[in-house]
Structures are given as structure tokens and as C-alpha cells.
Amino acid sequence: MPTIIFSSGGRSWHHGRSGAAYSLVSYPAYNASRWQAAAAAAQAVINTGTYALVEDNATAPGYGFYSLFLQRVNSEYILPFNRAANRDMEVFYFPPTRGGQKNSMPTQNIVDAFPMKNGKPITDPASGYVATNPYVNRDPRFYNTVIYNTAPLFLASAAGLSPVYTYEGAASDGFDATTSVTGYYGRKMCNVTDAANTERGWPLLRYAEILLNYAEAIAETGQPELAVPKLVELRRRAGIDAGPDGRYGIPMGLSVSQMRAFVQNERRIELAYEDQRWHDIRRWKIAMVTNNAYNQRMRVVRGGTSPNFTYTYNIVSSIRRHNFRPEMYLLPIPDGEIRKVPAFRQNPGW
């Protein structure tokens, strides 16, 4: 298939038609006969040499993961939705002190999914995680996805970076029912260093997902260790430490089921807020677990006196519990459509 060249305003965007087509084929499906085909399709995209992760750990650990979303043209985008220069994402996610409308706030659940900078999950006693200081030495993708208490963010009145305070009672941005109901704000795909408009492309499909597709599919063929090199690529770009074994926190000797869980979490954090998570939950059929529980939130309490304030971190549950039933994996066919064609069979459970 030939390459398509899109041009607008004297600028061109190049997308391989074959790359996009193979990318769609590479979406894994729970059919044993198709895992190898999905892995082969992902490998075909990789073999084109057209795409590469945007990597920059010299500017700051994981800076490539931050900067790629602020560009219309980069080596990682396979299929972007380009927008005119705007601040839509910043307005959507940011706290009130930064002119945001706080439309979507991360939960403690997604925060806990991010490992430490050494790549180990926070549940691992060897990870170095400290519950009383939970935001230190985390996976750099965390800092580029979540605004937490004391996180630096551009403030126009300060003409530079200034801390965001989400502790209970903090003016404008604090934890309560009308501002941050979770104790966090979002910052994925946002420009956090100035108040100017950003030319960005929304990632409908990017190369990182192809690597994840390959890792998932090849592991499900019974070869979980073959998933490791692609996961290493992602974690190296993320700014995670290589470690003495050069595995970037990926354990040795994972079984198929263990690698499945590892890849599922890696997709969750790498593709967070890119409209992927719900579709993955449905595909993996894990909604009875993930969507039948209370969301967790972070209630931060400030103590002490200026300039030596202290912060106590308390995880609390949301007010309402999510409810998911098996029939919700599919939507019901509207009654009006059933009446038009009586031969239609309603989806199970409806």
C-alpha cells in the first residue's frame, strides 16, 4: 500500500496507509487462532521503520512522553486528529487557579497503577514506595499524567511554575465536593509550561500502542519473554531506570497470566486518557471487577505552620459505588429497531 501525504497550510503530515491498516489488524482478540496473526500484524508495522517512539530523557526523565502530545507531527503518531492551535485540553483538565474547568479528575486507582521510577509496583516491598510521601520517585509518566498536591504548574500571575495545592481547604483547588472530588487534576497531553495556545494532534493511534499490541499478542501465544523487548522500549522512553539487569523493572520468568496482568497495567498507564481503557476493559472482560467497586480518592490534610507545613495523605472511598452487570458489555438494541425487524435478537440480558 502506498504512503498517504496530507498537506495543509504549507505543512505536510505523512502516514503510511499500510502502517495504519496493519495497526488495526494488530488489535489483539481473545481467539487463540488470532494471537499469532495479531502479533505478526504489529511486527509488520514495526518492520516498516516508519515509526518510532518520541524519546528524550536528556531534557528530563520521560520528557519525550510529555512533548509528543504537544506536536502535530512526530515519529510516533500513526493516525492523529489534528486541531487548530488552542488550549482545549488545558481548559478541560486544569484546576481553577489555572483557568481550568476540572472536567475530568484522576482517581487514586489510576495513581496507584503507576510504578516507581525503578519500575517496581508500589505494592512491592522493594520498590521504595513510602505511603507518607507517595509522589516521590514515581514513574515519570505519572508526573506527566496527574496533577497532585504541590505539583508544579504554570501560573500566569507568577510568570512561571508554581505549586498546585489540593489539600482539604486549599483555596480554589482544594479537595472538596465542588473542586477536586478526587484530590487530583489531569495533565496528560497538556502544556504545563506557559499559557500560549498549543498546536497538537489527538492520538487516535500511535506507535506505543503497536508495541503494546505486539507484547500482549506474543505473550498470549505462550511466549511471554518475547514481549519483554517491546516493553523495555516503552519503559526506557518513559524515563524508568534500567536497573542492574537492564529490564526496567520487568520481572524475570513471568508466566503467561502474569505477563497478561503486567501488559494490562502497562496499557492502562501508557494510554491513560486516550480513550482506550474502557475498550480494553470490555475486551478483557474484567469489568465485573474494575467497574463494581468504589473509586478511591486522596484526602490531603495540611498541618504545621508556614513555612514548615506538613501533609498527611488519607485514601478515602467515593460516595457512590459503581455498578456493572454482565449484560452491560453490550448495549441493548433499541425496541424500535426490534419492532422493525422481529428477526433481530436482543443482546443477552436486555
Q: In the prediction, which pLDDT does 247 show?
A: 98
Domain final position from 237, 272, 307: 272
Q: Which domain holds residue 170?
A: 88-186
Domain annotation covers residue 281: no
Domain annotation covers residue 289: no
Domain annotation covers residue 177: yes
Per-residue pLDDT of the chain (350 residues; tens, 9 = 90+): 444 444 434 444 444 545 665 565 666 655 667 999 999 999 999 999 999 999 999 999 999 999 999 999 999 999 999 988 989 999 999 999 999 998 889 999 999 999 999 999 999 999 999 999 999 999 999 999 999 999 999 998 898 999 999 999 999 999 987 888 999 999 999 998 877 888 888 999 999 999 999 999 999 999 999 999 999 999 999 999 999 999 999 999 999 999 999 999 999 999 999 999 999 999 999 999 999 999 999 999 999 999 899 999 999 999 889 999 999 999 999 999 999 998 889 999 99
* 65 & 138 share domain: no
Domain final position from 130, 158, 186: 186
Domain annotation covers residue 337: no
Domain final position from 242, 272, 302: 272
* 95 & 65 share domain: no
- Kindly state the cell numbers that stand for 144: 506527566
**What's the CA gap between 327 and 316, in Å, rounded?**
30
Domain annotation covers residue 171: yes
Go through 143-155 and write b for each residue having 16 or more CB atoms within 10 A of its CB, e for each that does not.
bbbbbbbebebbb
* 93 & 182 share domain: yes
In this structure, how many other beta carbons lie within 10 angstroms of the beta carbon of residue 18? Answer: 15
* 94 & 175 share domain: yes
- Kindly state the cell numbers that stand for 160: 512561571
Q: In the prediction, which pLDDT does 197 show?
A: 87
* 210 & 182 share domain: no
- The helix-helix angle for 207-220 and 32-47 (nearest 10°) equals 140
Domain annotation covers residue 180: yes
**What's the CA gap between 273 and 93, in Å, rounded?**
11
* 165 & 236 share domain: no
**What's the CA gap between 247 and 266, in Å, rounded?**
14
* 71 & 101 share domain: no
What are the C-alpha distances in Å from 65 to residues 19, 127, 142, 240?
21, 22, 11, 12
What are the C-alpha distances in Å from 71 to residues 10, 143, 199?
16, 19, 6
Domain annotation covers residue 176: yes
Domain annotation covers residue 294: no
* 34 & 115 share domain: no
Q: In the prediction, which pLDDT does 59 show?
A: 98
Q: Which residues are CB-contacts of 138 (< 8 A; sequence separation ≥ 6)? A: 114, 115, 116, 117
What 3-state class would DSSP assign to 15? Answer: strand
The predicted model scores a pTM of: 0.90
* 157 & 224 share domain: no
Q: In the prediction, which pLDDT does 50 show?
A: 96
* 137 & 267 share domain: no
Strand (E) positions, 83-186? 146-147, 151-155, 160-164, 185-186
Task: Give the CATH number for residue 233.
Answer: 1.25.40.900
**Number of domains forming the structure of the chain:** 2
* 178 & 94 share domain: yes
Contact 250, 234 (CB under 8 A): no
* 102 & 178 share domain: yes
Q: In the prediction, which pLDDT does 1 show?
A: 45
